[in-house]
Amino acid sequence: MFEYLKIAYRNIWRNKRRSLITMSSIFFAAFLAIIMRSFQLGSYDAMINTMVEKYTGHIQIEHPDFPEDMTLDNAVVYSEELLQKVRNVENVKAIAPRISSFSMAYSDIQNKGILINGIDPKAEEGMTGFSEQIAMVKLTDEAIAKIKAEGAPPFLQEALDEYRGKYYARDKILAFEMNLQSNDDIEKWLPVIKKHAFYPSQNLKENDEGLLIGSGLSNYLKLNVGDSIIMLGMGYHGASAAKVFPIRGVIVVPNPQLDAMIAYGCLKTVQDYFSAYEFADSENGTGEKIPLLSSYVINVNRTDYESIQETRDAVIRSLNDQSLLIRGWKEANKELNNQIKSDNETGKIMIGLLYIVIAFGVFGTVLMMIAERKREMGVMIAIGMKKRKLAILISLEMFFMSFMGLIAGILVSMPIVAIGHLHPIRLKGEMAEMMATYGMEPVMPMAWFDMYYFNQMLVVFIVVLVIMIYPVIRIRRMNVIEALRG
């Protein structure tokens, strides 16, 4: 067998151009399939990270009737014991209690229906990195004039005018949208922008009586830090809810729809506003006040769906409470799940078409190889080599070329996937606006190395194996005399 391998390897390099064309076809098959699939799965990870991890959580604990009727009447009881039990479950990263409901928000000039969320700032920070979304820069007219007066270059002046009135919470996004591409530009102009456009947002403190409002809501109501916002709504079991809240800061939410209608307050503050309490003696409304929640939200460390389901089952066993509904994000966020499913199937069809195109390309190189070597194979059979052994030899040559093409595709794609995952491509213009509409940060990330990587290689290798059937059949049916005349 060793002799077959040695001869097959030597045969590859007898005609380097032909072999390189064949290997290039296989290289591009593996390379393009991996890159396309990595971008596709990376976009799903970004969607899940933005919409699930930052908002709905991987697992939710709710009242059984809450999914059908999302009102405070279908609330669950706040329990420190429940929180501790869930924290002790393997794979649970963090758990946060939340209370949410709708109210009317009023300023001096505008009013709007909004969603007000009560959160535990400490728990929320450990779960979603809440403080990273708090705006520290606002491009007001006054700030833009001062930055331009510092001698801002034309590209920066253009960006300042384009994003006038916008809030920023992260330096990275601010630098990107201001077209600060080189390190020198970032080091020179980012401090200038932050100095003149500083916005005095503050995070919520424990039992804070104030609110954080979305940047879109802030612009709509014309409210800033230090102003007051009037809230009117309906609380638990029809109780009236009315209060004036001071604004502590502005928060930048990637989803523009949420950003224009969301406010955050401390858990106790919002519970007091909605009168979200039950009493130990519920009939007489006396005794200890028991705080209520809309849900408990859980994030996990291993975020593949099988691990999420295993964690959910472990939480169910740990709590052992039939009065609670415990469900994963796919059940809680069916719209997002269906969107991912639809896009995934479309992506598979596109990659399937890519495989077909590439398969014909590889098949074309195989046809060329067989046609060019027809006389050579006829001579080998004429001098006594069995067709079976010749077929094995040709198959080994194809195997070597496939293997080298695949390895080249893997090696070239690995640094691209790693860079695309760690430093995703940031989008601008209409594409960025479209992604923001769906609540996603305008980036094109690539998925980290996982089974998809090897699945693409396996599919390409299977395609090559199927194509290898053709030269084997041609050899077995070969007419030696015709081949010698060829």
Q: What is the pLDDT of residue 398?
A: 80
CA–CA dist 12, 357 (Å, integer): 24
Q: What is the pLDDT of residue 30?
A: 80
Supply the pTM of this predicted model.
0.71
Q: What is the pLDDT of residue 293?
A: 93
Q: Which residue has the tokens 């990263």?
A: 93
Q: Delimit the domains of the chain by residue range.
A: 2-50+336-485, 64-135+199-323
pLDDT in tens, the chain (486 residues): 677 677 777 877 777 887 888 788 788 878 888 888 888 888 777 777 767 777 778 899 999 998 888 888 899 999 999 999 999 999 999 999 999 999 999 998 889 999 999 999 988 888 878 888 899 999 999 999 999 999 999 999 999 998 999 999 888 888 888 888 888 889 999 999 999 999 999 999 888 999 999 999 999 999 999 999 999 999 888 888 999 999 999 999 877 788 899 999 999 999 999 999 987 655 555 567 889 999 999 999 888 778 889 999 999 999 988 889 999 888 877 777 787 778 778 877 887 887 787 788 778 777 877 777 788 778 888 888 888 888 888 888 888 888 888 888 888 988 998 888 888 877 766 666 556 545 566 777 888 877 777 777 778 778 878 888 888 888 887 777 777 776
